[in-house]
Amino acid sequence: MTVQSRAELATAQRIVVKVGSSSISGEASWRIPVLVEALAAAHARGAEIVLVSSGAIATGIPFLDLDSRPTDLATQQAAAAVGQNILVYRYQEALRPFGVVAGQVLLTTGDLENPTSRSNARRAMERLLGLRILPIVNENDTVATQEIRFGDNDRLAALVAQLVQADALVLLSDIESLYTKPPSDPAAVPIDVIASDADLVGLEFGTTVVNSVGTGGAATKVSAARMAAASGIGVLVTSADRVDDALTGAEIGTWFAPAAPSA
Protein backbone atom coordinates (compact mmCIF):
# COMPACT_ATOMS: atom_id res chain seq x y z
CA MET A 1 0.00 0.00 0.00
CA THR A 2 1.13 3.55 -0.68
CA VAL A 3 1.16 5.58 2.52
CA GLN A 4 -0.18 9.04 1.69
CA SER A 5 -0.20 10.58 5.17
CA ARG A 6 1.30 10.23 8.64
CA ALA A 7 -1.94 8.72 9.94
CA GLU A 8 -1.54 5.77 7.58
CA LEU A 9 1.75 4.79 9.22
CA ALA A 10 -0.39 3.06 11.85
CA THR A 11 -1.51 0.50 9.27
CA ALA A 12 1.45 0.46 6.88
CA GLN A 13 2.66 -3.04 6.07
CA ARG A 14 6.34 -2.40 5.37
CA ILE A 15 8.25 0.41 7.08
CA VAL A 16 11.92 1.31 7.06
CA VAL A 17 13.03 3.16 10.21
CA LYS A 18 16.40 4.90 10.39
CA VAL A 19 18.09 6.05 13.59
CA GLY A 20 21.33 8.00 13.85
CA SER A 21 24.39 7.53 16.02
CA SER A 22 23.68 10.42 18.38
CA SER A 23 20.28 8.95 19.25
CA ILE A 24 21.43 5.51 20.39
CA SER A 25 25.14 5.64 21.34
CA GLY A 26 27.13 6.75 24.34
CA GLU A 27 24.95 8.34 26.99
CA ALA A 28 21.97 7.94 24.63
CA SER A 29 22.22 4.13 24.55
CA TRP A 30 19.28 4.03 27.01
CA ARG A 31 17.09 4.89 24.02
CA ILE A 32 17.66 1.48 22.35
CA PRO A 33 15.02 -0.31 24.49
CA VAL A 34 12.58 2.57 23.91
CA LEU A 35 13.13 2.36 20.15
CA VAL A 36 12.86 -1.42 20.18
CA GLU A 37 9.58 -1.38 22.13
CA ALA A 38 8.00 0.81 19.43
CA LEU A 39 9.39 -1.36 16.63
CA ALA A 40 8.20 -4.53 18.38
CA ALA A 41 4.69 -3.08 18.77
CA ALA A 42 4.50 -2.41 15.03
CA HIS A 43 5.93 -5.87 14.36
CA ALA A 44 3.29 -7.40 16.65
CA ARG A 45 0.45 -5.84 14.63
CA GLY A 46 1.85 -7.60 11.57
CA ALA A 47 4.00 -4.89 10.01
CA GLU A 48 7.31 -5.73 8.40
CA ILE A 49 9.98 -3.51 9.96
CA VAL A 50 13.48 -2.81 8.67
CA LEU A 51 15.76 -0.84 10.98
CA VAL A 52 18.64 1.11 9.46
CA SER A 53 20.88 1.92 12.40
CA SER A 54 24.02 3.98 12.53
CA GLY A 55 26.20 3.82 15.60
CA ALA A 56 28.85 1.16 14.98
CA ILE A 57 31.78 3.57 15.14
CA ALA A 58 30.35 5.51 18.06
CA THR A 59 29.61 2.31 19.99
CA GLY A 60 33.13 0.98 19.40
CA ILE A 61 34.98 4.11 20.48
CA PRO A 62 34.98 3.49 24.27
CA PHE A 63 36.04 -0.14 23.77
CA LEU A 64 39.15 1.08 21.97
CA ASP A 65 39.92 3.48 24.86
CA LEU A 66 39.49 6.47 22.57
CA ASP A 67 38.37 9.82 23.95
CA SER A 68 36.63 10.97 20.78
CA ARG A 69 35.65 9.93 17.27
CA PRO A 70 38.83 8.99 15.35
CA THR A 71 39.73 11.07 12.33
CA ASP A 72 41.78 8.52 10.41
CA LEU A 73 39.98 5.96 8.29
CA ALA A 74 41.77 2.85 9.61
CA THR A 75 40.82 3.61 13.22
CA GLN A 76 37.24 4.41 12.19
CA GLN A 77 37.07 1.02 10.51
CA ALA A 78 38.51 -0.68 13.60
CA ALA A 79 35.97 1.07 15.82
CA ALA A 80 33.20 -0.03 13.45
CA ALA A 81 34.33 -3.66 13.52
CA VAL A 82 34.16 -3.72 17.32
CA GLY A 83 31.09 -1.52 17.67
CA GLN A 84 28.88 -3.31 15.14
CA ASN A 85 29.04 -6.53 17.12
CA ILE A 86 28.14 -4.79 20.36
CA LEU A 87 25.40 -2.68 18.74
CA VAL A 88 23.56 -5.68 17.27
CA TYR A 89 23.90 -7.53 20.59
CA ARG A 90 22.23 -4.61 22.38
CA TYR A 91 19.39 -4.59 19.88
CA GLN A 92 18.89 -8.34 20.14
CA GLU A 93 18.85 -8.25 23.93
CA ALA A 94 16.24 -5.49 23.82
CA LEU A 95 14.16 -7.46 21.30
CA ARG A 96 14.33 -10.74 23.23
CA PRO A 97 11.43 -10.03 25.64
CA PHE A 98 9.18 -9.44 22.62
CA GLY A 99 10.15 -12.70 20.95
CA VAL A 100 11.58 -10.89 17.93
CA VAL A 101 14.81 -12.04 16.27
CA ALA A 102 17.12 -9.56 14.56
CA GLY A 103 19.16 -10.20 11.43
CA GLN A 104 22.28 -8.20 10.63
CA VAL A 105 22.63 -6.83 7.09
CA LEU A 106 25.74 -4.82 6.19
CA LEU A 107 25.69 -2.94 2.90
CA THR A 108 27.66 -0.40 0.95
CA THR A 109 26.25 2.01 -1.59
CA GLY A 110 28.14 -0.02 -4.18
CA ASP A 111 26.15 -3.11 -3.22
CA LEU A 112 22.97 -1.29 -4.16
CA GLU A 113 24.36 0.13 -7.39
CA ASN A 114 25.60 -3.17 -8.81
CA PRO A 115 22.66 -5.10 -10.36
CA THR A 116 23.85 -8.54 -9.19
CA SER A 117 24.59 -7.59 -5.58
CA ARG A 118 21.43 -5.47 -5.46
CA SER A 119 19.37 -8.47 -6.54
CA ASN A 120 21.09 -10.63 -3.92
CA ALA A 121 20.44 -8.03 -1.22
CA ARG A 122 16.78 -7.75 -2.16
CA ARG A 123 16.33 -11.53 -2.12
CA ALA A 124 17.96 -11.82 1.31
CA MET A 125 15.89 -8.97 2.74
CA GLU A 126 12.66 -10.39 1.37
CA ARG A 127 13.42 -13.78 2.89
CA LEU A 128 14.25 -12.26 6.28
CA LEU A 129 10.99 -10.33 6.29
CA GLY A 130 9.08 -13.41 5.16
CA LEU A 131 10.51 -15.28 8.14
CA ARG A 132 9.39 -12.41 10.43
CA ILE A 133 12.99 -11.46 11.20
CA LEU A 134 13.70 -7.79 11.88
CA PRO A 135 16.64 -6.82 9.65
CA ILE A 136 19.08 -4.34 11.16
CA VAL A 137 20.91 -2.63 8.32
CA ASN A 138 24.08 -0.57 8.61
CA GLU A 139 26.72 0.74 6.31
CA ASN A 140 29.56 -1.78 6.09
CA ASP A 141 31.96 0.68 7.66
CA THR A 142 34.88 -1.73 7.80
CA VAL A 143 35.16 -1.63 4.00
CA ALA A 144 33.32 1.57 3.04
CA THR A 145 35.03 4.93 2.92
CA GLN A 146 32.83 7.80 1.78
CA GLU A 147 29.74 6.74 3.72
CA ILE A 148 31.63 6.78 7.01
CA ARG A 149 32.10 10.51 6.62
CA PHE A 150 28.89 11.74 5.02
CA GLY A 151 25.17 11.22 5.47
CA ASP A 152 24.96 9.15 8.63
CA ASN A 153 23.03 6.46 6.70
CA ASP A 154 20.17 8.75 5.63
CA ARG A 155 20.86 8.05 1.96
CA LEU A 156 21.35 4.35 2.69
CA ALA A 157 17.95 4.28 4.42
CA ALA A 158 16.31 5.80 1.35
CA LEU A 159 18.05 3.27 -0.90
CA VAL A 160 16.94 0.39 1.35
CA ALA A 161 13.36 1.71 1.31
CA GLN A 162 13.49 1.65 -2.48
CA LEU A 163 15.14 -1.79 -2.48
CA VAL A 164 12.39 -3.43 -0.43
CA GLN A 165 9.63 -1.26 -1.91
CA ALA A 166 8.66 0.01 1.52
CA ASP A 167 5.33 1.69 2.14
CA ALA A 168 7.01 4.40 4.21
CA LEU A 169 10.33 5.61 5.58
CA VAL A 170 10.79 7.14 9.03
CA LEU A 171 13.98 9.14 9.60
CA LEU A 172 14.59 9.68 13.30
CA SER A 173 16.56 12.71 14.41
CA ASP A 174 17.35 14.75 17.50
CA ILE A 175 14.62 17.28 16.76
CA GLU A 176 10.88 16.77 16.39
CA SER A 177 10.56 18.30 12.92
CA LEU A 178 12.42 20.20 10.24
CA TYR A 179 12.41 23.99 10.35
CA THR A 180 12.54 26.76 7.79
CA LYS A 181 15.80 27.91 9.37
CA PRO A 182 18.19 26.38 11.94
CA PRO A 183 16.10 25.71 15.09
CA SER A 184 18.30 28.10 17.08
CA ASP A 185 17.11 30.97 14.88
CA PRO A 186 14.15 32.80 16.51
CA ALA A 187 12.60 33.15 13.06
CA ALA A 188 12.59 29.37 12.49
CA VAL A 189 9.17 27.84 11.86
CA PRO A 190 8.46 24.07 11.94
CA ILE A 191 7.54 22.54 8.58
CA ASP A 192 4.44 20.35 8.58
CA VAL A 193 4.30 18.91 5.05
CA ILE A 194 6.60 19.09 2.03
CA ALA A 195 4.87 18.26 -1.23
CA SER A 196 6.69 16.02 -3.68
CA ASP A 197 7.08 18.90 -6.13
CA ALA A 198 7.74 21.61 -3.52
CA ASP A 199 10.31 24.29 -4.26
CA LEU A 200 12.64 24.39 -1.26
CA VAL A 201 14.48 27.54 -2.34
CA GLY A 202 14.74 29.90 0.61
CA LEU A 203 14.68 27.20 3.27
CA GLU A 204 17.87 26.86 5.31
CA PHE A 205 18.50 23.26 6.29
CA GLY A 206 22.16 23.85 7.06
CA THR A 207 25.11 21.79 5.91
CA THR A 208 26.28 18.33 6.81
CA VAL A 209 27.95 18.44 10.20
CA VAL A 210 30.08 16.03 12.13
CA ASN A 211 29.45 15.78 15.85
CA SER A 212 31.28 13.80 18.49
CA VAL A 213 29.68 10.48 17.54
CA GLY A 214 28.27 10.67 14.04
CA THR A 215 27.78 12.56 10.82
CA GLY A 216 24.68 14.07 9.37
CA GLY A 217 22.26 16.92 9.77
CA ALA A 218 18.98 18.27 8.46
CA ALA A 219 20.34 18.72 4.94
CA THR A 220 21.17 15.03 4.55
CA LYS A 221 17.71 14.05 5.81
CA VAL A 222 16.01 16.39 3.37
CA SER A 223 18.08 14.99 0.49
CA ALA A 224 17.29 11.38 1.45
CA ALA A 225 13.62 12.12 2.09
CA ARG A 226 13.24 13.83 -1.28
CA MET A 227 14.88 10.88 -3.02
CA ALA A 228 12.53 8.37 -1.37
CA ALA A 229 9.45 10.55 -1.87
CA ALA A 230 10.27 10.97 -5.56
CA SER A 231 10.04 7.18 -5.93
CA GLY A 232 6.60 7.09 -4.31
CA ILE A 233 7.58 6.43 -0.68
CA GLY A 234 6.17 8.75 1.98
CA VAL A 235 8.74 9.92 4.51
CA LEU A 236 8.40 11.19 8.08
CA VAL A 237 11.23 13.07 9.75
CA THR A 238 10.85 13.36 13.51
CA SER A 239 12.58 12.86 16.86
CA ALA A 240 13.80 9.47 18.03
CA ASP A 241 11.94 10.17 21.28
CA ARG A 242 8.66 10.19 19.33
CA VAL A 243 9.15 6.90 17.47
CA ASP A 244 6.13 5.25 19.09
CA ASP A 245 3.93 8.21 18.16
CA ALA A 246 5.34 8.14 14.64
CA LEU A 247 4.55 4.47 14.10
CA THR A 248 1.02 4.87 15.47
CA GLY A 249 0.14 7.68 13.07
CA ALA A 250 0.42 10.76 15.28
CA GLU A 251 0.48 14.18 13.60
CA ILE A 252 4.09 14.94 14.40
CA GLY A 253 7.27 15.76 12.54
CA THR A 254 7.70 16.79 8.92
CA TRP A 255 5.94 14.68 6.29
CA PHE A 256 7.35 14.36 2.77
CA ALA A 257 4.41 13.45 0.57
CA PRO A 258 5.12 10.70 -1.96
CA ALA A 259 5.10 11.47 -5.65
CA ALA A 260 2.18 10.06 -7.59
CA PRO A 261 2.97 6.97 -9.66
CA SER A 262 3.92 7.78 -13.24
CA ALA A 263 1.28 6.94 -15.80
Residues 141, 74: Cα–Cα separation, whole Å: 10
Number of neighbours of residue 72 by Cβ within 10 angstroms? 8
Domains of the chain, first to last:
6-256 (3.40.1160.10)
Residues in binding site for ATP: 18, 173-174
pLDDT value at residue 17: 98
pLDDT value at residue 206: 52
CA 234-236-239 angle, 5° bins: 170
Number of neighbours of residue 7 by Cβ within 10 angstroms? 13
Residues in binding site: 18, 54, 141, 153, 173-174
Q: Are 214 and 22 in contact (CB under 8 A)?
A: yes
Residues in binding site for substrate: 54, 141, 153
Exposure of 113 by Cβ count < 10 A (0-12 exposed, 13-18 middle, 19+ buried)?
exposed
pLDDT value at residue 213: 42
10-residue mean pLDDT profile of the chain (263 residues): values are 92 97 90 97 98 93 89 90 95 98 91 92 98 95 63 86 97 89 85 87 54 58 93 96 97 95 64
Number of neighbours of residue 253 by Cβ within 10 angstroms? 26
| Residue 46 three-state SS | coil
pLDDT value at residue 208: 38
pLDDT value at residue 214: 45
pLDDT value at residue 99: 98
pLDDT value at residue 43: 98
Mind giving me the DSSP string for 183-223?
TTSTT--B--EE-TT---TT------EE-SS-EE-HHHHHH
Is this model's pTM higher than 0.75 or not? Answer: yes
End-to-end Cα, the chain, rounded Å: 17
pLDDT value at residue 93: 97
Q: Chain centroid to CA 64: how far?
A: 26
pLDDT value at residue 186: 87
Number of neighbours of residue 116 by Cβ within 10 angstroms? 8
